[in-house]
Structure formats: C-alpha cells, structure tokens
A and B are shown apart, each in its own frame.
Chain A
Amino acid sequence: MSRGLVTGLLAGATFVLLVVGTPAGAYHTNFQAYCNDSWMNLNPINRGEARNYAYSAAGEGYQWGGGCWNTNGYDDSPGDQPENPYTRGEGPDCSGFTFKAWYERAETGDPWFRYHYLMQNVHGPYTAADFKYGVGAPNMTVAKASTTFMDAFAATNHIGMIYWENTAYNQDRIIEAKCEACGTGTWPRTYRGNPDYSGVRRRYWG
C-alpha cells in the first residue's frame, strides 16, 4: 500500500510540475494575452493630453519590447526576466512608452498623431538611441536648456519624458519605463545635466 502511495505521489507531483510548470514559468503571467491592437488616427493633441496619457502607466510594469498596460496601479507581472520579450509581461519599455505617449505612428515617415489604446500591445519602430538622434519624421533633437514638459531626455540605452520641470532641488520629474524592478512611473532625475542624455522633442503638438 505505502509503496504504491509513494509512487503515485511522486508521479503526480512530477506530472504537474513538468506539464504545467514549464509553460507557466516560460510565460510567467502572460499579461499580453489580454492586450489588443486598437488605435485611431487623430488631429494633433497638446502636451497636456500626452502627459495625461503617460500618467496612466505610472505604477504599472516594465516589459522589454512590450507596450500594453492597464490602470490598476501595480505591475501585474513583476520579476520577469529582463530583455526577454517572451515573458509577455505588463508595461512598455522606455522607447515604446515614449512612442505611445507621443501619439506617434508606426510609419516612420509620417509625423502625425495616432491614439494607441492603453491595452494596445505596440512598441513602435524606435529605440532609445533612435530618439536620441532624432530619427523619424515626428522627432527632433533640441538643446536641453530649452526643453519643456513632455519633451524627453534620451541616451543610447534609455529615454524618459519630462513630467514636471524644475523641482526645488532643480531636478526634473521624469515619467519613464525604467527597468523591470522599477516598473513605469514618475521619479525626480538629473538627466538634464548629464551629457550622456540629449534633448528630444516631438514635433507638431497642437
């Protein structure tokens, strides 16, 4: 009796761990299964509307290569392996976040505006380095001293948008998809005075 029970125990546990555990680990929460591909083209919007849009991601997750989030205020897929798009977690990465918050279009020669639903899983065609050098019809580089809210500071590996300029200690509050452990949110940063970062602007705000 006991030998049969133990054998059955081991077999049952092994079966579940192998059959269910492997894909569960690979896909983690598979948040992106709930995302969509909904968007609509718009006339130019203003910086304030873009900031409202970006704020919807504050408190949500970070996903390398990702692009969709809900608005429940927390990361639904924390602890995903960095740089692994197959974890299919919640949130954008830094450049995908800027692309969506700047209402850009996937066609790099088209500078006009497109509303991407928050749950639309889209990253867009630009990396942080592309933004840094003003690649794409909607994007241009500007002097950091002349930037204002919803302009961005971009380095080769990261980009964040100005949420509120000039705190008391003379930082900028930046809204950004920072890292897997950080998620997406607003933090005071010193990118403006860091020469690794360039000033970047989206053209044609309404």
Chain B
Amino acid sequence: MERAWRWPFAGFVVGALMGATILTVNVVGASSPVRPPAATGSFGEILHTPVLLSRTGEPVRLRYGFVCGVPRFEPAGGCSPSGSVFVRPAGRSEFTERSLRRDSEGLLAATIGAREAAGGFDYYARIDNGRGQSRELPGGAPAAPHHVWPIESWSRVDLGAARFGRTRTPDSVVASFPWGRGDHAAGLDTGREQSRIGPSAFDVAPDGSVVVLDQVNRRLALVRPGSRPAHVPIAFEGGEGDLAVAPDGTIYVLDASGTPMLRSFTAGGYPIASTRLAEQTADMVRVGPNGPLVHAYPSEMWLPTGAGAPPFAPAQQLAAAEPARRVGDSSVVVSATSDEAKLALVRGDRVAHAWAVRSAANLGEVQLAEPYGDGLLVVLRVWTEKRSEFRVLRLTRAGLAESFAVDRAEWAESASLSRFRLHGSTLYQLRSTPSGTQVATFEIGGKG
C-alpha cells in the first residue's frame, strides 16, 4: 500500500510546487512593481517656475515653493524650509549667495536688481528642508544652472478679442483610428472617476509616416502614406507619455510613469536602449541637434539623454541640462502666463529675436513653438470659462504674418503638450471625438 502511493504522492507534491510557481509568476510576479527609489522621499520637493525672459531695466523676482515630504500628523511630519539663491551675472565666473526670504504668499523669494539683471544671469537655489537635508535646483547646479535672458525689444502681437468657433477645417486626415484594440484601432482608457485617455502622442517620420503612441494598447502604430497601419508592441508602464522621431528615423518614447523612462526604437520599432530620467516628472521629448531632449520637473530644464547606446545616466543628464530647447544652432525659449506669452530665439547668451503675445481672452498653454523661416510657428490655447480653441501664429521678425484658429478636438486626453507637430510647412494635429482619433494636417504659408 505504502509503495503504491509513493509515486502519486511525490507527483502531487511536485505538481503543487509547480502550481505555486505558476501563481507566483502570474499573480505576484506579473503584478510586482519595478521598485524605483521612493518619489515621496523624506526630503520633499522644491517648486519653481524658471523666469527665463525678463525686460531690460526691470528687477527679477525669483520665487520658490516647497512641499514637505511627510504630512504634519504622520510620524515626524511637517518641515520648515529655508535657503539661498546663487546668482552669476553674465560675464562673471563666480556665483554670489542671497538669502531667500518668505514673502506674503509663503514662498521663499529674492529680488535681483535691475542693474545686476541687465545683461542676463545664471542662478540656482539651495533649499534646506529644516530637517538637515538640502538640495539644489536645478539638480545639476552649479554646472548647469537656470538662466535669464534680458530682452530690450519685443515684437508685440495682440490677438484682440477671441471670436470662438471660426476654426479652420483641416486640409487632410493622414491617419484615423476608431477606439478599440483591433488592428485598425487605437486604445481608449476610460471609466468612472478617471480621465478619458487616448493615444498620448504622435510624430512624423522623415519618410512622412505618422507614428502614434498607442500606449493604452502598449504599442506603436506606424502609418505609412497609402498603407494600412502596422503595429509594434512596446514596453510601457505609465498611463501617458510622449514621442519624437529623429531625422534618422529613431523613435524616442517618453514613459511618464512614476519613474519616467526614455526608450528608443528603430524606425521599424525594434528596441535600442532605455534610460531612467534624472527627475521625477517629465512631459515632453523632442529631438535636438545632438539627440533627444526631455523637459523635466521640478527644474523645467531640458535633459539630454544622448543619441547613442547606452544613453546618458541620470547624473550625466543633470550635468548637461539646458534651460532652453536647442533647435539647430539656436534655442527656443518659452515663458508664458495667462496674460502674456513671451517667446524668444536665442543663441548662447544673445537674444536673436523676441515676441510678446497678448489676447483679450485668457492665454493657455503653448502647445508648439518651432523655428519657421526667420521666426517661429506657435500654437497656443485661448480660453474663457466656457470656450476654448487653439490659435496658430506664424511669427516673423516683422510681427504676426499669419494666424488661424483650430478646433481643440480633445474629447480624449493626450499628453498635455503633444497635440501638434510641425514637419516642413505642414502642421499636424492629434484630434479625438467620441468615435475615435485622427491625425489631421494644416498647410502653413510662408517659407518653413
């Protein structure tokens, strides 16, 4: 009897172990997170919007917020931050320290006098969280500080009163997807008590193909002119991200998850490399003259990640970060509020040209600012409490050369600054409706 049951019993034990292994892989393993360093570490977070552009002859106010790492009533919560800002006027080699003082709104602030700011300056802050820990912002300072460009003269553009609804119809639709999971569809992540999220981003490849980040289905959709969409599965952990295609066809995908990653793929979608980003939040990837650049927070610096493999490690990204986005031999600087959008083309410390855009309606985000001819092509939002649309502006050194309105077509959410791309003289827009999503085009006048 004992012998008769020995082998079945041994089999049962081994089978049970196999079953447990399968469960571990499928239930625990598949759901186990990649465990990044805690985003909510005990230090907290420094908050700051870089000034970037100032008016010559005016003082510059630098302001910093601070978020404590642990709330007051959890064990050892609360904090009392303090700090300094370090300033280096243009042409000087040394930074000088200024104490930050709490202003009426509770922010840590310092004012740089008009004379000192006249030629532009670099700056960074060092904040102590009141618990003996301090950090610099930007993280690569003093090697890679923030910078302020002084502007003597601006091309002023007044958009006047917004007359909503007179939007331009797209010239063509180059890619179109119903919502879903199939070969011709694009994913929609929706439900009660959560955002309605469609494809995050898209870009146009050198051969004119449209590449769509269908992150809900964890894939890229490659739409070649006159062909059916091809799909390439990709690794993607977060809910949203961004995408940019380099002139050599390399596709860069920003995964804006809890630990932001940048992954690169060949034009056919084959994985090349990936790297973790140096900062905890990122919203844009664009391609600069030396490879991809990621716009990251809280510094709002542009982090280079390198075009080769392996890409730059986080410390290298911080050390080489720049305050403005490099495009060719220039950089584009954007500094906007709801009252005024300031834009500039700069070369090093020198300002090539600057524009100040105003509107009777509120100005929203600057969706796109790309060199175009001798100026910029800009897409920004104008809005009131009940209405909103995008305005496309062709800015030349003489001012506003062309302007038209575009329907916001944002039934589903994409990554916040990924709705438009410029390729030659064609402006592309990622649009969505309850039935699906599409990429539409608008031809721009003038010389791109």
Contact = CB atoms under 8 A, between A and B. Distances in A.
Contacts of B71: 49, 52-53, 56, 118
B166 to A, nearest CB: 17
Nearest to B68: A52
Interface in A9-41: 9-17, 20-21, 24-25, 28-29, 40
Contact of A179 (B44, B239, B362): B239
A183 interface: yes
Interface in B130-155: none
Interface string A166-206: 11111101000111111101111110111100000000000
B386 interface: yes
A76 B281 contact: no
B283 interface: yes
Contacts of B73: 40, 115, 117
A118 to B, nearest CB: 6
Contacts, number: 293
Contacts of B216: 181
A177 B388 CA distance: 25
Contacts of A8: 7-15
A17 B23 contact: yes
A44 to B, nearest CB: 13
Contact of A21 (B19, B74, B365, B387): B19
A94 to B, nearest CB: 5
B35 A16 contact: no
Contacts of A96: 193
Interface residues of A, number: 90
Interface residues of B, number: 95
B258 interface: yes
Contacts of B45: 55
A76 B192 CA distance: 22
A88 interface: no
A93 B191 CA distance: 11
Contact of A71 (B70, B382, B408): B70
A64 B194 contact: yes
B363 interface: yes
Contact of B40 (A56, A166, A195): A56
Contacts of A48: 106
B338 A185 contact: no
Contact of B31 (A6, A59, A77, A187): A77
28 contacts: A6-B11, A8-B9, A8-B14, A9-B11, A11-B11, A11-B15, A12-B19, A13-B15, A15-B12, A40-B73, A52-B77, A56-B70, A73-B36, A73-B37, A73-B39, A74-B34, A74-B38, A118-B74, A145-B362, A157-B192, A164-B65, A173-B297, A178-B195, A179-B191, A181-B189, A185-B281, A192-B364, A193-B381
